[in-house]
Amino acid sequence: MCARAPEGPHVHTRLSALALAAAGALALAGCSGAADPGEEPAPSLNVVATTTQLVDFAGEVGGDDIELTGLLAPGGSAHHFDPSPADLLALGEADVLIVNGAGLETFVDDAVESSGFDGLVIDASDGVDLDEAREITLEGEDEDHDHEDHAEDEDHAEGEDHDHADEDHAEEADEHAEDEHDHDHGDLNPHLWSSPRLAQGMVGEIARGLSEAEPDRASDFAQRAEEYQAKLGLLDEWAAAQFERVPEADRVLVSGHDSMRYFLHDYDIEFAGSILPSFEDNAEPSAAEIDELVHEIEEHGVKAIFVESSISPKLAETVAKEAGVRVVDAETLFVDSLGAEGSGAETYIAATVHNTRVILEAWGVTPDPVPAELESV
């Protein structure tokens, strides 16, 4: 609260005119709002980011130059997020909105319209070669189709007297599922951040967008982005070196849903399938899909099923019991979201290190210590 200069007849008579003048000057200076010459200027850019990973990236790039708000809480998933009134209020007051893009945040358009947001939108996926990402997605889908064809051949060999009405119903269900899949994401897996290499491009795009919104601080944004990208490069090198120690035949993974496509591609890990046959983390597998996954687990000698933090492990436990493997749930993977405070996965780098360690240890490999530069990130 600003002090007021002494005034009126109640002022002590021994207070000199000089003291009065000095007190008045101090009061005016205190209420003027003038900044201390050595004080850092207050952040002038109000930024909202959708996912926990983007909040972390934006914080690394923006530093103290931005006021940052995240829409999704740790443990949340963008696949079925519904913004609260508080989220819409924060968005309406923001200068910048950072989104993952690539079809992930289906709620964004409605949220922008409802909140009245009229600032700059930074699409982090613009920093990624989406044609290459699409090829990686399609490579994985081709493998999935090969597995499905194998299952169909086995069914055909068991007998050809199928109920055609049931076949027609199954085809309609498959077409409906494909239509929903196309509507949500098209032919691109949106989990771009799962690859530290792609994350570097996303960070660069965030720096470019923040510089557009606040040109006076562009050099600071660029410097922080370069420093963080260098750390992501170290993270990538460390993870690659760890997975190279695992025999190729043992580098096979089953996850809760198809969330790690780019991570697996980077480190030559075969994706044998997921409990939920979708990019989404709330899809429903059919009995035939579960049977096929059990077959793949047995055929590839998969040692464990890994469940993401956004997914219930119950169905995975059922599949694991049938396939005779274990579910890695106590040390869950942080993919759709970073971890809550105290989880050891509160940042992108910490979560990626955690995920790498959990996978390796389930495969019987003790990972090397991470580089010192990444220990506190």
pLDDT digits (tens, 9 = 90+) for 117-159: 999 999 999 999 999 999 999 886 655 545 444 444 444 444 4
Greater confidence, 15 or 65? 65
Q: How far apart are CA 72 and CA 337, in angstroms?
A: 8
Angle at 342 (CA atoms; ends 337, 346), nearest 5 degrees? 35
102, 141, 122: which is closest to 212 by C-alpha?
122
With cut-offs at 50, 70 and 90, classify the pLDDT of residue 332: confident
pLDDT at residue 139 in the model: 85
Does the pLDDT at position 253 exceed 70?
A: yes
Cα dist from 171 to 168, 174, 245, 323, whole Å: 5, 5, 43, 27
> In which band, very low, low, confident or very high, does the pLDDT at 27 lie, cut at 50, 70 and 90?
very low
Residue 173 is predicted with a pLDDT of 38
Angle at 139 between CA 134 and CA 143, to 5 degrees: 145
User: Cβ of 6: how many Cβ atoms within 10 Å?
Assistant: 14
In this model, does residue 28 exceed pLDDT 60?
A: no
CA-based max dimension of the chain: 112
Closest CA to 52 of 302, 339, 370: 339
pLDDT at 44 over 50: yes
Q: Give residue 367's pLDDT.
A: 96
Alpha-carbon dihedral sign for residues 141, 147, 148, 153: positive
